[in-house]
Amino acid sequence: MQITFRDAADSSTPRLLARIVDQDGLPADLSRSDAEGAAAARFTGKTGQVFESFAEADGRIVRRVLVGAGKADADDRPAALEKAGAALSARYLTSGEKALAIDASDGKLDARSVASVLLGARLRAWRHDAYRTKLKDEQKRTLGEIVVLGAPHGAEAAWRVEEALAEGVELTRELVAEPANVIYPESFVERVKARFEGTGVEITILDEDEMRALGMGALLGVSQGSARPARLLALKWLGGAKAGKPTVFVGKGVTFDTGGISLKQPAGMEDMKWDMGGAGAVAGAMLSIARRKAKANVIGVCGLVENMPDGNAQRPGDIVTTMSGQTVEVINTDAEGRLVLCDAITWVQKEFDPAAIVDLATLTGAMIISLGHEHGGVFSNNDRLAENLLAAGKASGDKLWRFPLSPEYDKLLDSPIADIKNVGPRYAGSITAAQFIQRFVENGTPWAHCDIAGMVWADKAGATWDKGATGFGVRLIDRFVRDTVEE
Ligand code: BES
Ligand code: MN
Ligand code: ZN
């Protein structure tokens, strides 16, 4: 979606012209037919509500739209403005119209509000049509441009910041939406690398030999049944103080999770193409952070593997030695995400001396049972970090809910033969998964684990996403960095 700003309407202004209106605050300058038409259609300006009319102006037919942004003084005003923009995209994406004008010249929206509307419009307009070769004309996307008219001073600059965020969300959605024959560890790295050209992000890639030399037996154990070699990808953005310790984000990047020898059921297994949603979110967030040149030292690390059953795959009962030196009894090869994360987390601690570590992972089905598709779960050894993440979730719309950790849960992972086993009993499955990861956090480094299994994919359209890949996590990380890491 191309977004441009102009001072005023002229003959090249798109004929589709929208205004953002507050609830119960219809503009006083509406034509009689618009005012009465809106009333007759019960349009009151509720968030996302749309009213459309046609009129003749200067010899041509224009399509006029009112879109509701809810109450002007609502607490969730930025989100409501995004929804207003999103409603416009949803309505006109395949309408036949190529361009949409948003008239901001009545001065009711400040610069940030304009940016919020645009962010919602852009995010809701994202689609992944690459593999649809037989779309009918009326199913094809037409809308490709938004022209903002008469926006207040600073709106364009405010939009540049949100545009960086949108780019990150879109990268994540693309990575998540692509099937596993297209996105596997090596191609994930290539796709991401191409997108970071010219951003100033320093990229490090470890191959299997390098990981073997480092002793990453847990990560490599997951990968050993796959024909696709594993990769560890680090994206480094040092935009903050020279000596400042970095904040490190670690993503689970299982590009396909069959379960391995502990094979999953066939029904719904195709969903496991998005088992790299944590890594996808980390990559997307790094792009946003770099694109807006955040004054912060942030590193994103993606642990990339494919979990397959094979003659060479690891077996239940195998014992692997992690990079930390701890041994793990692999009871269930389908509990692979934690095996990838533990080595990635050990590596980032040795390599970067992080101020804090936040991991994101589609780690457990149990998390979906707990929270459904409304919140991700967050676990942390540090109350301040947890609170900052919860606040960033609230502010960004990528909501989190905190879960407990304790020695009693930790004990459930003791193994009779190794230091730890990779699964506990059936109950509290999301918590024991988090406890597993915590065993690899050294010296009380502030750490949080976000289990986003229920959030990266949506079966129906939401506020600013269509059904499919949501891009969850990018806005969370970006907001967290803006509010608590940036100088
Ligand atoms: N990737 C899955 C978790 C998952 C399941 C995410 C369904 C989204 C939807 C993870 O690797 C997994 O298989 N977890 C197991 C753990 C169990 C074996 C302890 C699970 O949740 O069943
Ligand atoms: Mn699994
Ligand atoms: Zn998995």
State mean pLDDT over 425-450. Answer: 98
Q: Is 338 known to be catalytic?
A: yes
Q: Is residue 178 within 8 Å of 134, Cβ to Cβ?
A: no
Q: What is the pLDDT of residues 454-469, one digit of tens each?
A: 999 999 999 999 999 9
Q: Candidates 3.30.70.20, 3.40.630.10, 1.10.4080.10, 3.30.565.10; correct CATH number of 163-485?
A: 3.40.630.10
Radius of gyration of the chain (CA): 24
Which ligand is nearest the CA of 423, by number?
1
Tokens encoding 14: 């798109």
pTM of the model: 0.98
**% of the chain residues with pLDDT over 90:** 98
Are β-strands 50-57 and 60-68 bridged in parallel, bridged antiparallel, or unpaired?
antiparallel
> Where in the chain are all domains bearing CATH 3.40.630.10?
163-485
Which of 449, 444, 466 lies closest to 457 in space, CA to CA?
A: 466
* pLDDT given for residue 57 in this prediction: 87
Average pLDDT estimate for 393-417: 98
Q: What is the mean pLDDT of the chain?
A: 98
Q: What percent of the chain stands above pLDDT 70?
A: 100
* CA of 473 relative to ligand 2 center, distance in Å: 20
Interatomic CA distance for residues 331 and 318, integer angstroms: 8
Q: Residue 207: is it exposed, middle or buried by C-beta count within 10 angstroms (0-12/13-18/19+)?
A: middle
Nearest residue (CA) to ligand 1, atom 8:
453
CATH 3.40.220.10 residue ranges of the chain are 2-153
Indicate if the pLDDT at residue 331 is higher than 90.
yes
Q: What is the pLDDT of residues 264-317, one digit of tens each?
A: 999 999 999 999 999 999 999 999 999 999 999 999 999 999 999 999 999 999
Residue 273 falls in the annotated catalytic set: no
**Is the torsion defined by CA of 110, 113, 119, 125 positive or negative?**
negative
Residue of 269, 274, 364, 430 with the most ligand 1 atoms within 8 Å of its CB, for mutation: 364
What is the assigned CATH class of domain 2-153? Answer: alpha beta
- So what's the pLDDT on residue 487? 85
Residue 130 pLDDT exceeds 90:
yes
pLDDT bracket for residue 204 (50, 70, 90):
very high
Residue 88 has pLDDT above 90, yes or no: yes
257 CA to middle of ligand 1, Å? 9
Q: Which two tokens stand for residue 370?
A: 């707990």
Residue 58 clears pLDDT 90, i.e. is over it: no
Per the CB < 8 A criterion, the answer to whether 392 and 376 are in contact is: no
Lining ligand 1 with CB less than 6 A are 257, 271, 275, 332, 334-337, 362-366, 368, 423, 429, 453
